[in-house]
Amino acid sequence: MTVEDGKIRVVVVDDHTVMRAGVVALLAPEPAIDIVGEAGNGREAVELVTALAPDVALVDLRMPVLDGVAATEQIVAGPSGTRVLILTTYDTDAEIERAVEAGAVGYLLKDTTREQLVDAIRAAHRGETVLAPRVAERLVARIRRPAPVALTSRELDVLNAVADGLSNADIGRRLVIAEATVKTHLLRVFAKLDVSDRTHAVVTAIESGLLRRPGRG
């Protein structure tokens, strides 16, 4: 197929025929974009990109034969230089991370407007990172989220004993350590969890997922 100079060559990959046709119809009027191929699964996408070396591949995530993440990995690892732009309905942290780690330059949701999609394709072609606003918000929130506190196994043993209502002396007998050592472990736990007493240490540890809830094992 002969492509006019200056046009961004794009392939559209989606296992839903109607959705794929909708994306193609959405982009067809754009003079700067040329749809050079379509694929219905990840395997077809890899083969299509290998054959056509388009500038940008719009790739859905959940597809048969080979999913979008696996297809992205293979496309990025290949010699085509094709930029992969994910276009999906899924915006969970796990999905976003998998796509980014696979090498996608962008992550858009299917409620994206035509103008936003065209702008994203142009940006992806330039090698820029493109994220849907909702996706960007999730990533920023994740980055800003404090790193999980790490307690040692012994500190967790002590905290579990505190949650069971044991005194320092009882904890020492249960763990076969000196009462002074129990106090040292508790002081370290307080510092790590930024609390000042036993009750808040247990509550904070449970809320943070560091400690089992009493009675739940």
Examine residue 39 and state whether it is found in any structural domain, yes or no: yes
Q: What is the pLDDT along the chain (217 residues), one digit of tens a residue?
A: 334 467 999 999 999 999 999 999 999 999 999 999 999 999 999 999 999 999 999 999 999 999 999 999 999 999 999 999 999 988 777 788 888 889 999 999 988 999 999 999 999 999 898 888 878 777 766 666 666 678 999 999 999 999 999 999 999 999 999 999 999 999 999 988 888 899 999 988 888 888 865 444 4
Tokens of 130: 């493109």
Torsion of CA 77, 78, 79, 81, to 10 degrees: -70
Examine residue 38 and state whether it is found in any structural domain, yes or no: yes
Number of domains in the chain: 2
Instruction: Answer yes or no: do 199 and 105 share one domain.
Output: no
Domain that holds residue 178: 153-207
Instruction: Answer yes or no: do 81 and 119 share one domain.
Output: yes
Residue 1: strand, helix, or coil = coil
Instruction: Answer yes or no: do 88 and 169 share one domain.
Output: no
Distance in angstroms (rounded) separating the CA atoms of residues 193 and 206: 11
Predicted local distance difference test score (pLDDT) of residue 139: 72
Predicted local distance difference test score (pLDDT) of residue 213: 56
CB-CB contact of 15 with 63 (8 Å):
yes
Instruction: Answer yes or no: do 126 and 36 share one domain.
Output: yes
Predicted local distance difference test score (pLDDT) of residue 2: 37
Instruction: Answer yes or no: do 28 and 59 share one domain.
Output: yes
Instruction: Answer yes or no: do 140 and 160 share one domain.
Output: no
Last residue in a domain, options 123, 144, 165: 144
Q: Quick one: which of 112, 2, 18 has its CA closest to 121?
A: 112
Predicted local distance difference test score (pLDDT) of residue 6: 79
CATH of the domain at 32: 3.40.50.2300
What pTM does this model have? 0.64
Predicted local distance difference test score (pLDDT) of residue 90: 84
Predicted local distance difference test score (pLDDT) of residue 217: 41
Looking only at Cα atoms, what is the longest distance across the chain? 83
Instruction: Answer yes or no: do 114 and 85 share one domain.
Output: yes
Predicted local distance difference test score (pLDDT) of residue 216: 44
Instruction: Answer yes or no: do 43 and 120 share one domain.
Output: yes
Instruction: Answer yes or no: do 75 and 130 share one domain.
Output: yes
CATH of the domain at 196: 1.10.10.10
CB-CB contact of 66 with 22 (8 Å):
no
Examine residue 213 and state whether it is found in any structural domain, yes or no: no
For the segment 73-86, what is each residue's pLDDT rounded down to a tens digit?
999 999 999 999 99
Instruction: Answer yes or no: do 19 and 105 share one domain.
Output: yes
Instruction: Answer yes or no: do 133 and 166 share one domain.
Output: no
Examine residue 217 and state whether it is found in any structural domain, yes or no: no
Predicted local distance difference test score (pLDDT) of residue 1: 35
Examine residue 113 and state whether it is found in any structural domain, yes or no: yes
Predicted local distance difference test score (pLDDT) of residue 214: 46
The residues, ordered by sequence, that sit 6+ positions from 47 with a Cβ below 8 Å of its Cβ are: 39
Looking at every residue in the chain, the average pLDDT score rounds to 88
